[in-house]
Amino acid sequence: MMRLIKLLHKWLSVIVALQLLIWLGSGLFFNLMDHSKASGNANRVNMSQSIDIDHARLLAPSTILRALELSQQTLTQKKTTVQRRVNSLKLIQLLNQPYYLLNHKRGLYAHFYNEHSLIDAYTGEPQIIDDVMAQALAQATYSGNGKVARVIKKLAPIEDMLKEENTVWQVNFTDEANTSIYIDASSGRLVGHSNEDKRFADFFFKLHFMDYGVMGKVGSFNNGLIIFFSLITLLLSLTGAVWVVELLSKGRYKR
C-alpha cells in the first residue's frame, strides 16, 4: 500500500507541480497586497446629489405608467408588440436632473442582466444614455487629474468587470493609472472603477482561479480545469500526509 502511496505522490507531482507553485505564489500575493489599491478605486468619489427636486414640476408615476400603457395599446393594434412590463419605478438624479428609472426585466442582483429605461421626471421624455452623457456621469465620480481619452460601448464579458452581465459604457482616462470608469448603458448606474493596480491584482486572480475560459465561462472559479487540478492536488496532499505519518511511525523524524 505504501508503495502505491509513494508512487502516486511522485507521479501526481509531475501533473500539478507548476500549478501548485502558481497557487502558492498568487496566494502569497493576495496575503501581501494592498487591498485598497487592488480595488481600483483610488480616484473614485461619490456622485454629489445636491439639487433639490422641484416637487411641483414632477410628473406623477401613475401618469408615466398610463402613458406607457397607452403606447403599448397602439403598438399592439399596429401588431408590433414590444411587451414592456414595469417592475419598478424609481425617482433618481443623474447629473442634477431628476429621472424615473424604470425596470422592465429584473435580475437578482444589479450586475445580473437587467433591462432599464430612463424618463425625464419633469417632461416625460425618454432619455438614452449616449457617450456624451456616459462621459459626464463617469467624470462626476472621478477625482483624478486625467482627461477623457475614449468612450467605448462594451458588451459582457468585460475584462475589468467580470461579474457584470449588462452592456456598459467604458470611459477611459489619460491619467498614469489608466483609470477606466464603467457606466451601465441602460440605467446610468456606476458599475465601477478599474485601473492598472486592479488589473494587476486581477491577473493574479486569473492565475489562482485558472480562469482561462477553458472548460467553463471566464469570470469564475467554477471551471473544469481547476476542478481537475484541485482533485489531483488533493490526492497529492493526502498521499503526502500519509507518507509523513508513515515516516513518523518509523521514527524517521529523529534529528
The residue ranges that bind another protein (CB under 8 A) are 10-11, 13-14, 17, 20-21, 23-25, 27-28, 30-33, 35, 55, 58, 60-63, 65-66, 69, 85-92, 106, 108, 209, 220-223, 226-227, 230-231, 233-234, 236-238, 240-241, 244, 247-248, 252-253
Alpha helices in the chain (DSSP H): 2-32, 35-38, 61-77, 131-139, 196-209, 224-249
Angle between helices 2-32 and 224-249 (to 10 degrees): 120
C-beta of 148 vs 232, nearer to another protein: 232
C-beta of 13 vs 97, nearer to another protein: 13
C-beta of 95 vs 245, nearer to another protein: 245
**In the bound complex, what is the minimum distance in angstroms from residue 203's beta carbon to another protein?**
17
**In the bound complex, what is the minimum distance in angstroms from residue 116's beta carbon to another protein?**
13
**In the bound complex, what is the minimum distance in angstroms from residue 17's beta carbon to another protein?**
5
C-beta of 66 vs 153, nearer to another protein: 66
DSSP 176: T
C-beta of 196 vs 228, nearer to another protein: 228
CA pair distance 163, 161, nearest whole angstrom: 6
**In the bound complex, what is the minimum distance in angstroms from residue 11's beta carbon to another protein?**
7
- Using the Cα atoms of residue 92, residue 50, residue 36 and residue 136 in order, give the sign of their dihedral: positive
CA pair distance 7, 177, nearest whole angstrom: 50
**In the bound complex, what is the minimum distance in angstroms from residue 27's beta carbon to another protein?**
6
C-beta of 178 vs 237, nearer to another protein: 237
**In the bound complex, what is the minimum distance in angstroms from residue 65's beta carbon to another protein?**
4
CA pair distance 133, 209, nearest whole angstrom: 36
CA 70 to each of CA 65, 79, 81, 178: distance values in angstroms, whole numbers, following the listed order: 9, 14, 13, 47
Instruction: Give me the amino acid identity at 200.
Output: F
Q: Let me know: does 229 contact 206? Beta carbons within 8 Å.
A: no
**In the bound complex, what is the minimum distance in angstroms from residue 132's beta carbon to another protein?**
26
C-beta of 147 vs 255, nearer to another protein: 255
Coil/strand/helix, residue 166 = coil
CA pair distance 224, 214, nearest whole angstrom: 7
CA pair distance 114, 87, nearest whole angstrom: 11
Coil/strand/helix, residue 181 = strand
Place of cell 468587470: 161
